[in-house]
Amino acid sequence: MEPGQDCDAIVNRTRARIIEMIGGEAAAIFVREPFIDPRCPQTSDADVLAFGDVDSLLPVRLNLPATPGTLPIDVIWLPRALLADSQRFAAEGLLPHRLVTSALLQDRNGEAEAAHRRVRVAIEQPQARAARIAGFMQMGFLAVREIGVTWDFPAMALFWLHTAFAAATAALCDAAGQLCPNVYTRPFDNLRSLPEPLRENWDARITGALRLNVDPESLIPVLRELHGTIARRFPEPSWPAAIRGTTRAEYVYFLDPAELEWRISVAREMAARGDAVQAAYYLRFWAYSLARVPMVHQCAQQGRDVSFMRPERAMAPALQELCVDIIDPLSAILAAATLTADDVRDALAVVTALRVHAVDVAAGRGLMPGALQPWIPFEKGGDP
């Protein structure tokens, strides 16, 4: 959206475009509020949750490039039965955060408005909040655990700490009663919006630990090169029946060249508005997602069902086998400098301290879900 354009007209036309494109399939449609992203208004899209006859979460990009006078549309499809179960939905990680920060656009069966109200109540219940915090902590545990099989690929090991940082930030925000629907891709926005006693100096500490003081513009040509190599060698496979729908949808989503260019434009607006750190994080997240494509492609050829985002084996040997020439550009994006295992250990200490801070805040508010697994890298011979 360009400066000076009629925002209300763009919003109304985009709403109509959403209904036109998915209204016939969706039982309920919700759209993020505010409709236009206040942090990146020039590259804003419409964030949509659509409930329909699907079996699992399915990300889909629509209207890209956007028709004149509208915004691109980013849809997450969810099973319609999930909306009806407010207690279950309220415990589902970031999904309830997304829903309660969205406004109802379509209620085809007359049930979504009441369901929306029930989720708004359920999300505040301590049991649901504790369950979400436990889920975020488990995500961080799994990310840090991956470091134990990634010491031979320090840049990737550092990326796992980006993921753990986002997980800890999600737990901290939820414990503090703050909604954070986009924390996995924009954790710094959420960290900075916490009250001062909670956010302390974590912004600077995490920025240094994750080596995010880089020029995001320098990462963009390398990211395009990475995407080009992967897209040429690993087009969408013929999916065997065993592969889950979410993995298929994410493969298409992350490999789309138009999506890449859109994400680059968002990162550039972040940097232009003074947030180069968040822009670099955002681009690194996209680089990792692209690096998963060769591995998922191989699993599809083997008929093996896997998660798209969570690797089924160590990344370094897999990429050396499948696409060795992406390792250097991937490392340049994920670390932007030479790293050692000791550098990763130092960064881990900072991220682990943030985890302790989040746990302390949750415990102080009676939100601890029970024993949590420590965030330590996997060690051969340890627990599976």
Judged against a pLDDT cut of 50, whether residue 355 lies above it is answered with: yes
Q: Do 357 and 350 touch, CB atoms closer than 8 A?
A: no
36 vs 370 pLDDT, higher one: 36
CA distances 52 to 90, 109, 168, 333, Å, are 18, 11, 31, 37
Judged against a pLDDT cut of 90, whether residue 216 lies above it is answered with: yes
Do 213 and 275 lie in a common domain?
yes
Residue 372 DSSP one-character state = -
Q: Do 310 and 142 touch, CB atoms closer than 8 A?
A: yes
Do 248 and 282 lie in a common domain?
yes
Q: What is the pLDDT of residue 1?
A: 65
Judged against a pLDDT cut of 50, whether residue 309 lies above it is answered with: yes
Do 27 and 148 lie in a common domain?
no
Q: Is residue 375 part of a domain?
A: no
Do 61 and 91 lie in a common domain?
yes
308, 334, 360: which is the final residue of a domain?
334
Query: What is the average per-residue pLDDT within 166-191?
Result: 97
Do 182 and 103 lie in a common domain?
no
How confident is the model over 88-100, as pLDDT tens digits?
999 999 999 999 9
Collapsing DSSP to helix, strand or coil, 105 comes out as: strand
Token pair 């737990």: residue: 171
Q: Is residue 281 part of a domain?
A: yes
124, 149, 166: which is the final residue of a domain?
124
Q: What is the pLDDT of residue 79?
A: 97
Query: What is the average per-residue pLDDT within 200-229?
Result: 97
Q: Is residue 33 part of a domain?
A: yes
Query: What is the average per-residue pLDDT within 326-330?
Result: 97
Do 157 and 71 lie in a common domain?
no
Q: Is residue 353 part of a domain?
A: no
Do 171 and 51 lie in a common domain?
no
Domain count within the chain: 2
Do 150 and 289 lie in a common domain?
yes
Q: What is the pLDDT of residue 371?
A: 85
Do 57 and 13 lie in a common domain?
yes
Do 61 and 170 lie in a common domain?
no
Q: Do 93 and 136 touch, CB atoms closer than 8 A?
A: yes
Q: What is the pLDDT of residue 384?
A: 37
Hey, how many other C-beta atoms are within 10 angstroms of the C-beta on 279?
29
Q: Report the CATH number at residue 19.
A: 3.30.460.10
Q: Is residue 32 part of a domain?
A: yes
Do 216 and 329 lie in a common domain?
yes
Lowest pLDDT segment from 64-68, 223-227, 378-382: 378-382
Judged against a pLDDT cut of 70, whether residue 383 lies above it is answered with: no
Residues above pLDDT 90, as percent of the chain: 95
Which range of residues forms the domain containing residue 43? Answer: 7-111+119-124
Q: What is the pLDDT of residue 5?
A: 80
Do 73 and 164 lie in a common domain?
no
Q: Is residue 1 part of a domain?
A: no
Query: What is the average per-residue pLDDT within 19-36?
Result: 98
Q: What is the pLDDT of residue 370?
A: 80
Q: Is residue 382 part of a domain?
A: no
Judged against a pLDDT cut of 70, whether residue 382 lies above it is answered with: no
Query: What is the average per-residue pLDDT within 112-130?
Result: 97
Average pLDDT taken over every residue of the chain: 96
